[in-house]
A and B are shown apart, each in its own frame.
Chain A
Amino acid sequence: MDLTLKVWRQKDAKSKGHFENYKVNNISPDSSFLEMMDILNEQLINECNDPVSFNKGCKKDGPIAFDHDCREGICGMCSLYINGRAHGPDNEITTCQLHMRKFKDGDTITIEPWRSNGFPVIKDLVVNRGAFDQILQAGGFISVNTGGTPDANSIPIKKEKADECMDAAACVGCGACVATCKNGSAMLFVASRVSSLALLPQGKIEGARRAKAMVSKMDELGFGSCTNTRACEMECPKHITVSHIARLNREFLSAKLKD
């Protein structure tokens, strides 16, 4: 496949960014999207090192910075906004699980970073998602120390509850929900943690404290509010549903009422 790539380039957080066009040829449809990005980068490295093409006006930009790590859809590191969709044109995947067979020969593909107040750009397609860590530090845990815990089977949990908890806990913290939301809301991310812990007897104990602390941290960090468009649910690579946002709202409201 031969493709034209329209890629967001931005030197650093302070600089202004712009789109740049690149061509890549002979891409196998079996390649992953990120392997295609590797090929483009190899090409850009060779170009900026080659005096001939350099003199022909080759840009000095060098390779494109993008985040990636496990390349199997679980670490949550990869984060590209492709043709107007977080993680690109396929459902229930992260960018690294997107394959080139989803595109056609001759396509032009637009590639941008996550765009949100909460996620400032570090370089090109790399953003800072430290805000997610801060939200979880505010209360996304059960307060137990190492050791002195009861036997695991002394806390029976209904299978259905455990399964639902697992559905919510599958969040990989990629930020697609925020990037997709027109308000830049982090509600689905916060809900996944609050809801998964609220479903467990161990987690219920400090449920009220958790919901209040995490929501208030989210607000403080400049994420927008939820207006129930459900766009986040559509783009979540782990298909976490907005029913968890409903549970978060219940947890939050009942905590506030008790205040």
Chain B
Amino acid sequence: MTKLISLVPEGPLSQKWTEHKSHIRVVSPGNKRKLEIIVIGTGLGGASAAASLGELGYNVKIFCISDSPRRAHSIAAQGGINAAKNYQNDNDSVYRLFYDTIKGGDYRSREANVYRLAEVSNNIIDQCVAQGVPFARDYGGLLDNRSFGGAQVSRTFYARGQTGQQLLLGAYASLNRQISKGNVKSYPRHEMLDLVVIDGEAKGIIARNLETGEMERFGAHAVVIASGGYGNTYFLSTNAMNSNGSVLWQCYKKGAFFANPCFAQIHPTCIPVHGEQQSKLTLMSESLRNDGRIWVPKKLEDVEKIRKGTIKASQIPEEDRDYYLERRYPAFGNLVPRDVASRAAKERCDAGYGVNEKGLAVFLDFSTSIERLGKDVISSRYGNLFQMYEKITDVNPYKEPMMIFPAIHYTMGGIWVDYNLQTTIPGLYAIGEANFSDHGGNRLGASALMQGLADGYFILPYTIGDYLAGKIQFPKTDIKHPAFDEAEKNIKERITKLFSIKGTKSVDTFHKQLGHIMWEYVGMARNEDGLKKAIKEIQELRKKYWKDVFVPGENTEFNQELEKALRVADFMEIGELMARDALNRKESCGGHFREEMQTEEGETKRDDNNFMYVSAWEYKGEELEPSLHKEDLKFEFVKPSTRNYKD
């Protein structure tokens, strides 16, 4: 049986990574040329990893489902990237970034991994500046910072509201350089459909050429998964339309454990749902909470008037506004972590104070800051976000406050990895949002970019060498091996089956239904009855799907409905595992809020005696219950306490 061995090195926290990397094996330049690595995904994690591995001299193949690596959803990250540079002299340090991150994650992540993340954060900023990333600067020519939720220092580096774009273009440029040198080969519009495992080790993939429908086989000495998260299980989320969890699911079914699937992040500041025709939700960056104040009216009659449109928000006097985050959490105010801010919005809306027609929105107001700093300053900080908001809602946020509401944004859970970022399948690695390791129960803002680039630039290129050093005698993987035949046969059967159903409903119809179940029972608040119901309803929906879905067209052509059909089939299984994990975790921590476990004030109540572990699920076969493995979390250096953002 596979055992969970985290490989966290011994020794003092600040020396673990230094010690570990000095003792792992390396591969000589001559041998690197003989070794092949497959990278799946071209976001910050995948692009930075492939570029760095190419620079080292490995033979790299990189795959993405879009028409270009630059489309990966990292591009949409707005606000910024954290690093412990302490350029603002506000007493920041590696330890403080580590501490904030582990506390923000509600003590459900590994100390050693999080410390390493904070440790390499500074290198990331140096790297990006050298690549030409245009971070915001002050008049003296040095870099500027802003604040993000869950921190009391200003450590977030940013490029207007397009930080993710600029960082990705930096990584993509480095990737392009390696492509031009021939060290990396790029396969756009290719979707991985299965992992090939030979003698227990990851040896290749089957990919579908999305332009032609052709199945293609690729062998390698190691496979790196950087395919992002599974937030689109909820149908409506801030993820891109094509973001999906299928690669994670394929790895899970081939023996990689899935860790903490129920940890999904709900972002407090998204544009509210406008109607049934909606296909996706748009995020308004957390950075807006630097200068925006969140409120709802104090009086229910004002709420009524706003919903009817008889008064405008700006007409409500200061004393009749309830700045509920500032009221409840004086120390952090509007900059509490995302899970806390989301639940507080839900609490006010549940109490009847929601400000749009459906009662599912709160205000994010910039009037105080505009008065203090002037419109120009606000515009220089958030201009593109304000423009984006106005295009979508037809409301000018310089004059009237934005309306916002929480939405699914990120998944902290993912493939289980050890300290080397290796999964339970030797030779298979997972980085960025695809793994589970650094954010625990809740990710802090501006930390996803940090993790993707830390894994890709500075961690994986070292740790993968330790594995590959043992493979220098191994020849190229033979793609005629029976394991490839079998994987390809299974995919082809699955596709044939989907076409043959010829049912009555489109793929989207089922995806929307799944989304409703997930949001209702596995969303912001969860309880035992609801989760049991969710599992049952998802199972029933899945049965219906395989009897009644309709997939038009053919396999041998560009067919976006088929792409969706394969992904939604997986979402239907991922959703069930998320519900199962949420049911098992009978405690509230971070974004996982079990209604049975809350304090009198409605805050999360952890149960450290029974749940201080990573839940890692092992696939047991179709329609069989997965089995749960536990990796106990040991806190040697910080003492888990109740998160306090009040004082």
Q: Footprint of B on A, CB under 8 Å?
A: 11-12, 27-28, 30-32, 34-35, 38-39, 42, 45-46, 48-49, 62-63, 65, 67-77, 90, 92-93, 97, 99, 101, 122-123, 126, 128-130, 132-133, 136-147, 149-153, 155-159, 162-163, 165-166, 169-170, 172-173, 196-197, 200, 202-203
- B127 an interface residue at 8 Å Cβ cutoff? yes
Given contacts A38-B279, A62-B552, contact A149 B76 (CB under 8 A): no
Contacts of A170 in B (CB 8 A): 162, 165
Which of these binds chain A: B65-73, B516-524, B620-628?
Answer: B65-73
Question: Roughly how many angstroms separate A200 CA and B130 CA in the complex, as a whole number?
Answer: 10
Residues of A within 8 Å of B394, CB to CB, are 30, 99, 101
B546 to chain A, nearest CB (A): 17
Q: Is the CB of B186 within 8 A of A133?
A: yes
- The answer to whether the Cβ of B123 comes within 8 Å of any Cβ in the partner chain is yes
Q: How far is the CB of A83 from chain B (nearest CB, A)?
A: 18
- With A72-B283, A152-B85 known to touch, is A162 a contact of B180 (CB < 8 Å)? no
Q: Are B139 and A159 closer than 8 Å at their CB atoms?
A: yes
Q: Are A38 and B552 in contact (CB under 8 A)?
A: no
- Across the interface, name the chain B residue whose C-beta is closest to A128: B67
Residue from the list B67, B127, B136, B392 in contact with A146, Cβ < 8 A: B127
Q: Are the C-beta atoms of B240 and A159 separated by less than 8 Å?
A: no
B135 contacts across to A, CB distance below 8 A: 152, 162
Query: Does B560 lie at the interface of the complex (its beta carbon under 8 Å from any beta carbon of A)?
Result: yes
- Chain B residues within 8 Å of A141, by CB: 131, 173-174, 176-177
Contacts of B388 in A (CB 8 A): 72-73, 97
- In the assembled complex, the Cα of A113 lies from the Cα of B135 at a distance in Å of 35
Q: Which residues of B contact A129 (CB under 8 A)?
A: 67-68
Binds A, one of B501-509, B526-534, B635-643: B501-509
Q: Is the CB of A71 within 8 A of B282?
A: yes
Complex-state Cα separation, A1 to B128, whole angstroms = 47
Whether the pair A46, B506 counts as a contact (CB closer than 8 A) is: yes
Distance of A28 Cα from B279 Cα, bound (Å) = 13
Across the interface, do A70 and B132 meet the contact criterion of CB distance under 8 Å? no
| B645 in the interface (beta carbon within 8 A) | no
Shortest Cβ distance from residue B455 to the other chain A in the assembled complex, whole angstroms: 12
Whether the Cβ atoms of B282 and A72 lie closer than 8 Å is: yes
Chain B neighbourhood of A71, CB < 8 A: 240-241, 279-280, 282
From B51, B176, B553, contact of A136 by CB (8 A): B176
B504 near A132 (CB under 8 angstroms)?
A: no
14 contacts between A and B (CB under 8 A): A35-B278, A38-B279, A45-B561, A65-B560, A70-B76, A74-B76, A75-B70, A90-B391, A128-B67, A145-B52, A166-B134, A173-B70, A197-B132, A202-B129
Residues of B in contact with A (beta carbons under 8 Å apart): 48, 51-52, 55, 66-73, 75-76, 85, 87, 123, 125-132, 134-143, 159-160, 162, 164-166, 169, 172-174, 176-177, 179-180, 186, 188, 211, 240-242, 274-275, 277-280, 282-283, 387-388, 391-392, 394, 457-458, 461, 502, 504, 506, 508-509, 550, 552-553, 557-558, 560-561
Q: A residues within 8 A CB of B508?
A: 38, 42
**With contact pairs A74-B165, A157-B137 given, residues A137 and B179 touching in the complex (Cβ less than 8 Å):** yes
Least Cβ–Cβ distance between A152 and chain B, in angstroms: 4
Q: Report the separation of the CA atoms of residues A35 and B140 in the bound assembly, to the nearest whole angstrom.
A: 46
Q: Is the CB of B277 within 8 A of A28?
A: yes
Shortest distance from the beta carbon of B481 to any chain A beta carbon, whole Å: 31
Chain A residues whose C-beta falls within 8 Å of the C-beta of B392 in the assembled complex: 32, 97, 99
Contact between A132 and B130 (Cβ–Cβ < 8 Å)? Answer: no
Task: Verify A196–B188 contact, CB threshold 8 A.
Answer: no
Q: Which residues of A contact B552 (CB under 8 A)?
A: 45, 48-49, 62-63
In whole angstroms, how far apart are the Cα atoms of A169 and B164 in the complex? 12
Question: Which one, B48, B132, B139, contacts A202 given CB within 8 A?
Answer: B132
Q: Can you add 15 more A-B contacts, CB < 8 Å, to A74-B165, A137-B176, A143-B177?
A: A45-B506, A46-B506, A70-B73, A74-B75, A74-B76, A99-B392, A130-B68, A144-B130, A155-B130, A158-B141, A159-B138, A159-B139, A162-B134, A173-B68, A196-B134
Q: Is the pair B140, A122 in contact by a Cβ cutoff of 8 Å?
A: no
Question: CA–CA, A11 to B166, complex, Å?
Answer: 36
Q: How many Å lie between the Cα of A166 and that of B167 in the bound state?
A: 12
Name B52's closest neighbour in chain A (CB-CB).
Answer: A146
CA distance A101 to B393 in the complex (A): 10
* Complex alpha-carbon distance, A74 and B387, angstroms: 13
- Closest Cβ of chain B to A143, distance in Å, is 6
Across the interface, name the chain A residue whose C-beta is closest to B387: A92
Cβ distance A174 to chain B, nearest Cβ, rounded Å:
10
Given A70-B240, A74-B75, the answer on whether A152 and B137 have CB atoms closer than 8 Å is no
Number of A-B residue pairs, CB cutoff 8 Å, is 220
The 6 closest A-B pairs by CB, nearest first: A156-B141, A141-B173, A149-B130, A152-B129, A62-B552, A166-B134
Q: Which residue of B lies closest to A48 (CB)?
A: B552
* Given A74-B165, A142-B131, A147-B458, A69:B71 Cβ within 8 A: yes
Tell me if A30 and B275 are in contact (CB < 8 A).
yes
Which B residues are in CB contact (< 8 Å) with A149?
A: 123, 126-127, 129-130
Inter-chain contact A200/B134, CB cutoff 8 Å: yes
Whose C-beta in chain B lies nearest to the C-beta of A93? B391
Contacts of A70 in B (CB 8 A): 71, 73, 75-76, 240-241
Tell which of A99, A153, A166 touches B160, judged by Cβ atoms closer than 8 Å.
A166
* Chain B residues closer than 8 Å to A76, beta-carbon distance: 70-71
On whether the beta carbons of A203 and B282 are closer than 8 Å, the reply is no
Task: For the complex formed, measure the closest distance between the CB of A132 and the CB atoms of chain B, giving whole angstroms.
Answer: 7
**Residues of chain A lying within 8 A (CB to CB) of residue B553:** 62-63
B506 touches A42 (CB 8 A): yes
Instruction: Give the chain B neighbours of A200 by CB distance below 8 A.
Output: 132, 134
Of all chain B residues, the one with the shortest Cβ separation from A170 is B162
Contacts of A30 in B (CB 8 A): 274-275, 394
Closest A residue to B171 by beta carbon equals A146
> In whole angstroms, how far apart are the Cα atoms of A163 and B560 in the complex?
39
CA distance A52 to B130 in the complex (A): 63
Q: Is the CB of A123 within 8 A of B458?
A: no
| CA of A116 to CA of B305, assembled, Å | 52
Report the bound CA distance from A13 to B134 in whole Å.
38
- Picked from A11, A42, A132, A153, the residue with its CB within 8 Å of the CB of B68 is A132
CB distance from A80 to the nearest CB of B (A): 14
- What residues on B are CB-neighbors of A68 within 8 Å? 241
Report yes or no: A144 in contact with B131, Cβ–Cβ below 8 A.
yes
CA distance A115 to B139 in the complex (A): 43
How far is B279's CA from A163's CA once the two chains are assembled, in angstroms?
34
CA distance A92 to B384 in the complex (A): 10
Residue of A35, A159, A165 touching B279 (CB-CB under 8 A): A35
Determine the distance from Cα of A52 to Cα of B413 in the docked complex, in whole angstroms.
46
Determine the distance from Cα of A170 to Cα of B166 in the docked complex, in whole angstroms: 8
Report Cα–Cα, A170/B388, bound state, in Å: 14
Query: Which residues of chain B are within 8 angstroms of A35 by Cβ–Cβ distance?
Result: 277-279
Verify B71–A28 contact, CB threshold 8 A.
no
B131 to A, closest residue via Cβ: A142
Given contacts A126-B558, A133-B69, contact A69 B240 (CB under 8 A): yes
Partner of B173, one of A34, A123, A140: A140
Q: Contacts of B461 on A, CB cut-off 8 Å? A: 146
Contact A133 B166 (CB under 8 A): no
Complex: how many Å from CA A70 to CA B67?
13
Q: Given known contacts A38-B279, A70-B75, A170-B162, is B131 in contact with A77 (CB within 8 Å)?
A: no
Pair A28/B132 contact, Cβ less than 8 Å: no
A162 touches B136 (CB 8 A): yes
A contact residues around B561 at 8 Å (CB): 45, 62-63
Whole-angstrom CA separation of A130 from B140 in the bound complex: 40
Query: What's the least CB distance linking B405 to chain A, in Å?
Result: 15
**A31 CA to B55 CA, complexed, in Å:** 46
Residues in A whose Cβ lies below 8 Å from that of B177: 137, 141, 143
Residues in B with CB closer than 8 Å to A136 are 172-173, 176
Q: Please pick, from A31, A77, A90, A130, the residue contacting B277 in the complex, using a CB distance under 8 A.
A: A31
Q: B70 touching A74 by the CB < 8 A rule?
A: no
- Are A142 and B138 in contact, with the CB atoms below 8 A? no
Chain B contacts of A173 at CB under 8 A?
68, 70
Across the two chains, which residue of chain A brings its CB closest to B186? A133
